[in-house]
């Protein structure tokens, strides 16, 4: 019988890893977390959700101040100090990261600063994170949870590497704003940065390969954001093919094709936002016999890999790069290694996605696109924010809400909200779908007046009238 140093070794101390470790320790398992980053905190806190939302909120405050005249309020000339914008964000991130570091080093489990690499199916070799850890050669565990996250994808064009670009990691740490910026990509990260930079006076050009930006959403969502972006002076190119990139003096140039035309744009800087890849290359997963697909660790819905004692959670396995899912996967993995006889399975019926632009873009459950692709029958109804009392008061007229329902039973299958506080408002439909509510029930549920939330009752009523 092999002797193990730990019951559970968690590789990575981000959102998924911390969730796995606290669950394992709470169940009385001897647990170790191995974290290889120079900083402790994980992507969400250090370079992802939190810094981007802190910066976007600053941009929203500035935008509101600039438009205060709408409500008869004179704010005067609105100015800003970018150093202070970043300083507030930095102070908040320092607090969040400090709290996470305390949780990790709080003594409930062993916390080691080192990079882990498998040498066999039950053993990892540890390379100490230079400044903080003493040298530890190897460590054996009965179970593993791999939660090593993701990094910015490599660029698809060698010319782009040569021209040079910044990534989201660099963008949240800028000391000075560029005067102009080309953003490559049209997903959530690209769109959030496009609005942040444009609202702080940077001339932004966004180049997206697909027909619409935000392609995981229905095209009405992407279309709304494109309209808002163009109104805010973001130059948006969709349906493009990237051809080349180069430097010209201090400028960077991107060349692409759109509708058969060759177009060249130039800016001070390029922001590369074309996706992320799982952090698995350095793990030597072959030594553990763990299967990957395009670098992503393959897991079943119990978060278990092909090696029954090795689990994975978060961005390193996917299929969604979303923080609450990473946490849920970490907890699920540990539950299943403790209680294989009564397994918990990940279920993405209530998948939520939010983009924190203004208007915010959010959905839960099925989009029309996804329902059609899966051959699921549905009826759908939308209602616009430009015809709704509270949003008119707020002058927040862009966007709509949309509901999808089962045409026979009326059960709500999905909800989308592109509009003011869309990321908050969508949670009413999350709760409704969690309880398997129908549109008939939602239509008669009380909504206080005048609120943004009462807008859901209009599509609910329209759909309820179609169910017999």
Could you list the active site residues? 449
Residues 228-257 close enough to bind ligand FAD by CB under 6 A = none
Residue from the set 189, 412, 429, 452 that interacts with ligand FAD by CB under 6 A: 189
- Alpha helices in 124-253, H assignment, sequence order: 158-163, 168-171, 188-199, 219-231
Residue from the set 23, 148, 208, 292 that interacts with ligand FAD by CB under 6 A: 148
Whole-number minimum distance, CB 278 to ligand FAD, in Å? 9
Please name which of 219, 217, 228 lies closest in space to residue 354, comparing C-alpha atoms.
217
Closer residue to ligand FAD in complex, CB, 35/368: 35
Whole-number minimum distance, CB 212 to ligand FAD, in Å? 20
Q: Determine contact, residues 186/214, Cβ cutoff 8 Å.
A: yes
Dihedral sign of CA atoms 78, 84, 86, 88 in order: negative
Does residue 367 bind ligand FAD (CB under 6 A)? no
DSSP 24-76: HHHTT--EEEEE-SSSSSHHHHHTSHHHHHHHHHHHHHHHHHHTGGGGT----
Whole-number minimum distance, CB 443 to ligand FAD, in Å? 30
Beta bridge partner(s), residue 262: 257
Residues 20-59 close enough to bind ligand FAD by CB under 6 A = 34-37, 42-44, 48-49, 52
Q: How far apart are the two ends of the chain, measured CA to CA in Å?
A: 64
Strand 352-355, strand 360-365: pairing: antiparallel
Whole-number minimum distance, CB 155 to ligand FAD, in Å? 16
Residue from the set 7, 9, 10, 15 that interacts with ligand FAD by CB under 6 A: 15
Q: Determine contact, residues 314/329, Cβ cutoff 8 Å.
A: yes
Residue from the set 55, 59, 104, 116 that interacts with ligand FAD by CB under 6 A: 116
| Stretch of 8-16, 96-104, 251-259, 446-454 lying at the interface with ligand FAD (CB under 6 A) | 8-16
Residues 118-147 close enough to bind ligand FAD by CB under 6 A = 147
Give the side-chain half-sphere CA count within 13 A for 129. 16
Binding mask 315-334 for ligand FAD (x = CB under 6 A): x-----xxx--x--------
| Stretch of 11-19, 66-74, 290-298, 365-373 lying at the interface with ligand FAD (CB under 6 A) | 11-19
Closer residue to ligand FAD in complex, CB, 13/178: 13
Binding mask 288-317 for ligand FAD (x = CB under 6 A): --------------------------xx--
CA pair distance 206, 225, nearest whole angstrom: 12
| Stretch of 5-13, 177-185, 341-349, 380-388 lying at the interface with ligand FAD (CB under 6 A) | 5-13
Neighbours of 306 (CB within 10 A): 14
Q: Which residues does 83 contact at the CB level (< 8 Å), separation at least 6? A: 175
Residues 68-97 close enough to bind ligand FAD by CB under 6 A = none
Task: Write phi, then psi, for 98 (nearest 5 degrees).
Answer: -65, -40
Q: Determine contact, residues 283/117, Cβ cutoff 8 Å.
A: yes
Residue from the set 6, 7, 12, 333 that interacts with ligand FAD by CB under 6 A: 12
Whole-number minimum distance, CB 213 to ligand FAD, in Å? 16
Whole-number minimum distance, CB 46 to ligand FAD, in Å? 8
Residue from the set 55, 141, 149, 196 that interacts with ligand FAD by CB under 6 A: 149
Does residue 11 bind ligand FAD (CB under 6 A)? yes
Question: What's the token pair of residue 140?
Answer: 């054996």
Q: At what angle do helices 82-104 and 15-26 cross, to 10 degrees?
A: 30
Whole-number minimum distance, CB 456 to ligand FAD, in Å? 23
Residue from the set 282, 291, 409, 466 that interacts with ligand FAD by CB under 6 A: 282
Closer residue to ligand FAD in complex, CB, 93/326: 326
Whole-number minimum distance, CB 438 to ligand FAD, in Å? 29
Q: Which residues does 221 contact at the CB level (< 8 Å), separation at least 6? A: 214, 361, 363, 416, 418
Please name which of 120, 121, 139 lies closest in space to residue 310, comparing C-alpha atoms.
121
Please name which of 434, 435, 366, 377 lies closest in space to residue 407, comparing C-alpha atoms.
377
Binding mask 394-423 for ligand FAD (x = CB under 6 A): ------------------------------
CA pair distance 113, 284, nearest whole angstrom: 18
Which residues make up the interface to ligand FAD (CB under 6 A)? Answer: 11-17, 34-37, 42-44, 48-49, 52, 115-116, 147-149, 168, 189, 279, 282-283, 314-315, 321-323, 326
């Amino acid at each position: 019988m092999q002797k193990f140093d730990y019951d559970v070794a968690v590789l990575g101390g981000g959102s998924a890893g911390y969730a796995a470790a606290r669950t394992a320790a709470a169940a009385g398992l001897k647990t170790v977390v191995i974290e290889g980053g120079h900083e402790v905190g994980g992507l969400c806190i250090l370079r992802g959700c939190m810094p981007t939302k802190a910066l976007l909120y600053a941009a929203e405050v500035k935008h509101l101040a600039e438009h205060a005249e709408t409500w008869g309020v004179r704010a005067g000339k609105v100015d800003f100090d970018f150093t202070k914008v970043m300083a507030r964000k930095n102070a908040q991130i320092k607090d969040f990261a400090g709290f996470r570091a305390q949780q990790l080093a709080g003594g409930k489990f062993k916390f080691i600063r080192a990079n882990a690499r498998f040498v066999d199916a039950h053993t990892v070799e540890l390379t100490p994170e230079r400044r903080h850890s003493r040298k530890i050669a190897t460590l054996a565990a009965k179970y593993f949870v791999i939660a090593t996250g993701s990094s910015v994808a490599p660029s698809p064009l060698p010319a782009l590497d040569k021209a040079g670009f910044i990534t989201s990691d660099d963008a949240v740490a800028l000391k000075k704003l560029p005067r102009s910026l080309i953003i490559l990509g049209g997903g959530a990260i690209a769109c959030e940065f496009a609005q942040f930079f444009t609202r702080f006076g940077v001339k932004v050009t966004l180049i997206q390969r697909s027909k619409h930006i935000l392609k995981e959403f229905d095209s009405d969502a992407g279309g709304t954001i494109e309209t808002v972006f163009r109104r805010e002076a973001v130059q948006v190119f969709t349906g493009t093919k990237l051809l080349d990139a180069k430097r010209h003096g201090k400028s960077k140039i991107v060349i692409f094709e759109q509708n058969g035309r060759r177009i060249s744009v130039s800016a001070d800087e390029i922001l590369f936002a074309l996706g992320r890849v799982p952090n698995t290359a350095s793990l030597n997963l072959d030594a553990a016999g763990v299967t990957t697909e395009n670098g992503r660790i393959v897991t079943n819905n119990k978060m278990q890999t092909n090696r029954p004692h090795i689990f994975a959670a978060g961005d390193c396995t996917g299929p969604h790069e979303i923080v609450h899912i990473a946490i849920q996967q970490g907890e699920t993995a540990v539950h299943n290694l403790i209680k294989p006889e009564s397994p918990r399975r990940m279920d993405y019926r209530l998948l939520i996605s939010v983009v924190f632009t203004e208007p915010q873009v959010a959905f839960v459950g099925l989009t029309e696109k996804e329902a059609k692709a899966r051959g699921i029958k549905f009826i759908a109804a939308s209602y616009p924010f430009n015809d709704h009392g509270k949003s008119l008061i707020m002058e927040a007229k862009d966007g709509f809400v949309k509901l999808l329902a089962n045409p026979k039973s009326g059960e709500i299958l999905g909800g989308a909200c592109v509009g003011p506080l869309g990321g908050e408002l969508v949670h009413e439909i999350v709760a409704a779908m969690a309880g398997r509510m129908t549109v008939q029930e939602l239509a008669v549920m009380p909504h206080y007046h005048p609120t943004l939330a009462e807008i859901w009752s209009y599509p609910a009523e329209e759909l309820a009238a179609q169910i017999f």
